[in-house]
A and B are shown apart, each in its own frame.
Chain A
Amino acid sequence: TTRTPEFLGLSQAAALFPESESASEVVIGVLDTGVWPESKSFADTGLGPIPSSWKGACESGTNFTSANCNKKLIGARYFAKGYEAALGAIDETKESRSPRDDDGHGTHTASTAAGSVVEGASLFGYAQGTARGMATRARVAVYKVCWIGGCFSSDILAAMEKAIDDNVNVLSMSLGGGMSDYYRDSVAIGSFAAMEKGILVSCSAGNAGPAPYSLSNVAPWITTVGAGTLDRDFPAFVSLGNGKNFSGVSLYRGSPLPGKMLPFVYAGNASNATNGNLCMMDTLIPEKVAGKIVLCDRGMNVRVQKGAVVKAAGGIGMVLSNTAANGEELVADAHLLPATAVGQKSGDAIRDYLFSNPNPTVTILFEGTKVGIEPSPVVAAFSSRGPNSITSEILKPDMIAPGVNILAGWSGAVGPTGLATDTRRVDFNIISGTSMSCPHVSGLAGLLKAAHPDWSPAAIRSALMTTAYTEYKNKQKMQDVATGKPSTPFDHGAGHVDPVSALNPGLVYDLTAEDYLGFLCALNYTEFQIRSLARRNFSCDASKRYRVTDLNYPSFAVNFDSVMGGSNVVKHTRTLTNVGSPGTYKVSVSPETPGVKISVEPQTLSFSQANEKKSYTVTFSGSSQPTGTNVFARLEWSDGKYTVSSPIAISWT
């Protein structure tokens, strides 16, 4: 990726991350649409021999042989039995029955996580810079489980089965499906097994935001990653005939618009279809759009297809307006015609101009790439939100990372829009989603694994969470683009990742497989369900009182019953492990939370040894509040050198 290494402080702190042997011992497995091995992001210049621990392979198939692998791309497998059982034999004229990426998504995520350094990367000159993955010296192993028709759980399980055998250290999965309970969710099931083998599993939180309860991949043994923006934008202003200008974004590169104001029409008035405003296939009347710029509304079909529909109908440009569902979030696209995307408010104002002016005119002014954009990061509107619909006492997402307008490697089999009509071919593409933020964290986890080979997946996630930030350098609170207000832990979890701080977090909240089994007991899982998930005979101890709130999670989600009067008391127990230098930590909770008293015992924790563990209890005493009330706070342990920070979300249900 370009820009995110600087944005995350990786470039400035390069010396902090071991470039030594350990960094290139880490293997990041990516379950996705495969890989385009010719991408420069998988060059292996300067990499030593493949780690001796590696047991993986490079499978041959359509347009792919083991010669396509190297010391960077050390593994490539594909899994299609489930897909073919469900949808019939793969049509090899349409997709490669091999690890080869015909889609682009898998190359993008794999290169984001661990791509090699590539000078002079860009998409048509946009986002120009030196592209590199988060863990430039980590090795990559791809497991193709996603095909044109989707990603089927029997294939996903088979890939995770193999990735564990192959000895990956991190698993990156930018996919999700449904919101079923953990014992019915193949990603959760496979991730439990991976976690037991010391593999950190990083997953996308989903793009169903900003609706609450919209998260995917919420199992506590999974690292769940939401999406935030960068300090980079691609402005393309809308200039109306009445002299008004509106901000927009675009990645269009091609023949410029004529240097004059152009006739402007609303798609809804240039169509016989009831939803003609959406610029869907075959809905625009050519006579009404030919030679004009068309205002389309978002929804139903993909954004880039709207541009193709306008172009096919003879339109010369498009202004694409957000609706209430996406508010002011601006996601840039490499449209096939001069086009720009504007927020809902701008779209409404532009539509009013169109309706109130007999001869509306417009043009689009493209400004290229701008950096230093503030405020940034902001939580992306599409980023799925908590509370956790499966276990409300586990706060999710865990954190956010860059996921908007991310440049990374792309397939040579498809254009930057992914449209069949797009015959352009690019080395890098700019796309958005929690699919993009997940591999950022996968790569950062790889960096931490290299620096601390003995850390468990839980310790790595804890380090990333307790050092995440929720304020800008000017002390303003991080914003949510969906509301224009400060985001909450249900939006950003612990906050935005800060990998340099995560390298030395001071203390971590560690967790073992046994802790997670106790968590399942607290959920009253049956013996059968636990055996399905954990592949072992494990009986919950009838004499023991298991509580979800005892799971040693680096964040807190508290639920009060709004019906019960003042006697709402919830206790959470946590244990901190010292991974830093000796120190005495003092606790603080802020801000004051209306309707609930938060007390911590003890107030200080002293550590003199490495790996020394100390426990504490937080007591939440809630008075009755209206149903649906949420209040938030942060609990911090600090010894003056390290700050170990945890979000608290308190809800009255």
Chain B
Amino acid sequence: KKSSRKTYIVHMAKSEMPPSFQHHTHWYDSSLKSVSGSAAMLYTYDNVIHGFSTQLTDEEAEQLESQPGILAVLPEVRYELH
């Protein structure tokens, strides 16, 4: 279960992007790679949130949440039609 991956929505504090990065998506990718070499971003967002979605294990999600510039790592929710 620990190793199984789930989708997370990662909220980033875009204004805290380190000056060494040219573009915020590079910073997002670097933050992601620091906790998981294999994870890829499903989507990046800039209108609705500043951040991205990706698949992580619970452990990786916890590690990512403690990274600088990370506001929240929220598990994906499944919605239903009404």
Which residue numbers of A lie inside 8 Å of B, CB to CB? 32-33, 81-82, 85-86, 105, 146, 150-154, 156-158, 160-161, 164-165, 174-178, 180, 183-187, 189-190, 193-194, 197, 204-207, 216, 433-435, 438, 528-529, 531-532, 535, 537
Contact = CB atoms under 8 A, between A and B. Distances in A.
Nearest to B46: A161
A193 B50 CA distance: 11
Contact of B71 (A32, A186, A187, A532): A532
A639 to B, nearest CB: 38
Contacts of A186: 9, 77, 79
Contacts of B2: none
Nearest to A155: B43
Nearest to A225: B82
A431 to B, nearest CB: 11
B77 A86 contact: no
Given A82-B53, A152-B7, A154-B76, A189 B81 contact: no
B17 interface: no
Contacts of A528: 71-72
Contacts of B47: 160-161, 164-165, 193, 197
A164 B78 contact: no
Interface string B4-28: 0011010101110000000000000
B67 to A, nearest CB: 13
A146 B80 CA distance: 8
Max count, chain B CB within 10 A of own CB: residue among A160, A161, A178, A531: A531
B74 A158 contact: no
A154 B9 contact: yes
A32 B48 CA distance: 18
A177 B47 CA distance: 22
Nearest to A535: B50
Nearest to A149: B78
Going nearest first, the 5 A-B pairs with the smallest beta carbon separation are: A177-B79, A154-B53, A204-B82, A190-B48, A151-B79
Given A86-B78, A157-B9, A190-B48, 20 more contacts: A81-B53, A85-B55, A150-B79, A154-B9, A154-B53, A157-B48, A158-B42, A160-B47, A161-B45, A175-B80, A185-B77, A189-B48, A193-B49, A197-B47, A207-B82, A433-B82, A528-B71, A531-B71, A532-B71, A535-B49
Contacts of B80: 150-151, 175-177
Contacts of A185: 77
A175 B79 contact: yes
Contacts of B7: 82, 85-86, 152, 154
Given A85-B55, A105-B81, A174-B81, A189 B49 contact: yes
A304 to B, nearest CB: 16
Interface string B23-56: 0000000000000000000110111111001010
Interface of A is mostly: helix
Contacts of A529: 72
Contacts of B11: 531-532
27 contacts: A81-B42, A82-B7, A82-B43, A85-B42, A86-B7, A86-B78, A146-B81, A151-B78, A154-B9, A157-B43, A157-B53, A158-B43, A158-B53, A161-B48, A176-B82, A177-B79, A178-B77, A180-B77, A184-B74, A189-B49, A197-B47, A205-B82, A434-B82, A438-B82, A528-B72, A532-B71, A535-B14
Given A161-B47, A532-B72, A153 B81 contact: no
B65 to A, nearest CB: 11
Contacts of B71: 528, 531-532
Contacts of A187: 79
Contacts of B15: 537
Contacts of B14: 535
A204 B82 CA distance: 7
Max count, chain A CB within 10 A of own CB: residue among B13, B47, B74: B47
Contacts of A146: 79, 81
Given A85-B55, A164-B48, A532-B11, A153 B43 contact: no
Contacts of B76: 82, 86, 152-154
Nearest to A537: B15
A151 B82 contact: no
A398 to B, nearest CB: 15
A570 B46 CA distance: 40
Contact of B43 (A161, A190, A205): A161
Contact of A532 (B49, B77, B79, B81): B49
A19 B14 CA distance: 43
B61 to A, nearest CB: 14
A161 B77 CA distance: 17
Contact of B48 (A86, A150, A175, A193): A193
A178 to B, nearest CB: 6
A164 B47 CA distance: 7
A153 B78 contact: yes
B48 to A, nearest CB: 4
Contacts of A105: 81
Contacts of B49: 157, 189-190, 193, 532, 535
A98 B54 CA distance: 22
Contacts of A190: 48-49
A435 B81 contact: yes
A161 B51 CA distance: 11
A323 B77 CA distance: 31
A153 B6 CA distance: 12
Nearest to A81: B42
A100 B53 CA distance: 25
